[in-house]
Amino acid sequence: METIFHEKQEGQLCAQHALNALLQGSYFTAVDLSMIANELDEEERKRMEEGGTDTQDYRDFMNSKSHNMDDSGFFSVQVIARALRGVWNLDMIPFNRRGDPVADCARCDPTTAKAFICNQQEHWFTIRKIGMQWFNLNSLFSGPELVSDTYLSLLLTQLQQEGYSIFVVAGVLPECQADQVLSTTRVTQVKKPSSKGTKTEAVRQVEEATVGVDGFTDEERQQYRRTIESSVRDREEEEKRQLELALSLSMDTSQTKDEDIPDLNNMTEEEMLDAALKMSLQN
C-alpha cells in the first residue's frame, strides 16, 4: 500500500487529485489545469465570435463565468479529457456509451478495463487497477481502498445509482513503482481508510431537503439530521444482516470444516459478499 500514490483532498482540487491518482505521480498542478481551462475558454470565445460580436449570445457568453473552471478549484470534464489526451494520449470514454468496444467490454466485465474516472457534481475521483488488484483512490479517503474484482462491478453500479458519471480510461498508462511492486504481490487490507472528508448520507439528504427553504432553525436542522442518520444506520444494519443471512444460508456447515467457516463478526460487507458468492459456486 505504501507504494501507491495517493493525494488527500486539498480545497476543491479533486480533479488534480484524480488525475495524479490515475497517473500515479505528481504530474498535474492546479496551475496546469487552469492553463488548459483558459485555452478552452479562448477556443469557445473564438467560436462564439464567428457568429458575430453584436449578438446577444456573444454578449451573454462574455458576461458569464468560465464553464471550465471556477474560483473553488473545480475543473470541467473537458479540462480533464484534454489533460489526458494532450499529454498522455489517454481517452475518457463514457461507461454507458453503446457501440463503443471499450465501453461495451468494460460494462460486460469491468475487470478488463485499466481505470475509471468518476464524477458527481463537483467531485472527481479515480478507481484504478494497480498490479493485480483494484483500488479506489478517492482523495476524500485517508488512503487507497482495496476493491475486490467481485465488488468492482457492484461499486460501479452503486455509483451510477447515486448519480455519478463514469468514464473508462483507454490507452497506455505510464509505468509506476506501485504497478511494478504489486504485479508480483497481492496486498490485503484489514481496515478500510477513513473518509472524514466525505459527507454522510444523512448530511447530504438534509442539505438537499433544506436548501432554499426558509424557516429552518439550526435546532430543526440538527433534529432532522439526527432522524435521517438513525434511518440510514437502521438501513445499513438491515443490509448487513441480510448479507450475513445470505452467507449463512450459502454455507453447508455439515460439509465444511470449522476452520473454513468465516467469522462473520470480523468481516467487511465486501468480504462477506465475496465469501457468499464463492460458497454459492461451491454448493
Distances (CA, A) of 39 to 20, 54, 224, 253: 21, 23, 45, 64
Which of 153-167, 192-206, 226-240 has the highest mean predicted lDDT (pLDDT)?
Answer: 153-167
Mean per-residue pLDDT over the chain, rounded: 77
60-99 burial, b at 16+ Cβ within 10 Å, e below that, comes to: ebeeeebebbeeebbbbbebbbbbbeeebebebbebeeee
Of 280, 225, 3, nearest in space to 133 by CA: 3
pLDDT band, very low/low/confident/very high, at 137 (cuts 50, 70, 90): very high
- Mean of pLDDT values over 256-263: 49
**What is the distance, to the nearest Å, from the Cα of residue 23 to the centroid of all Cα atoms in its chain?**
15
pLDDT: is 65 or 102 the higher one?
Answer: 102
List the chain domain ranges.
14-182, 201-282
- Say which of 14, 68, 118, 119 is annotated catalytic: 14
* Cα(243)–Cα(274) distance, integer angstroms: 11
End-to-end CA distance of the chain: 34
- Mean of pLDDT values over 92-114: 95
- Mean of pLDDT values over 146-159: 92
Residue 88 is predicted with a pLDDT of 93
Alpha carbons within 13 angstroms on the beta-carbon side of residue 63 total 7
pLDDT digits (tens, 9 = 90+) for 11-46: 888 999 999 999 999 999 999 999 999 999 888 877
Percent of the chain topping pLDDT 90: 46
Question: Residue 172, Cβ neighbours under 10 Å: how many?
Answer: 9
* Cα(123)–Cα(179) distance, integer angstroms: 26
Q: Does the pLDDT value for residue 99 go beyond 50? A: yes
pLDDT digits (tens, 9 = 90+) for 163-206: 999 999 999 999 999 999 998 888 888 778 887 554 444 344 44
176 is catalytic: no
- Say which of 6, 68, 138, 176 is annotated catalytic: 138
| pTM score of the predicted model | 0.67
CATH number for the domain whose boundaries are 14-182: 3.90.70.40
pLDDT band, very low/low/confident/very high, at 213 (cuts 50, 70, 90): very low
- Say which of 6, 123, 136, 176 is annotated catalytic: 123
14 is catalytic: yes
89 is catalytic: no
Query: Nine-digit cell at 242?
Result: 441480510
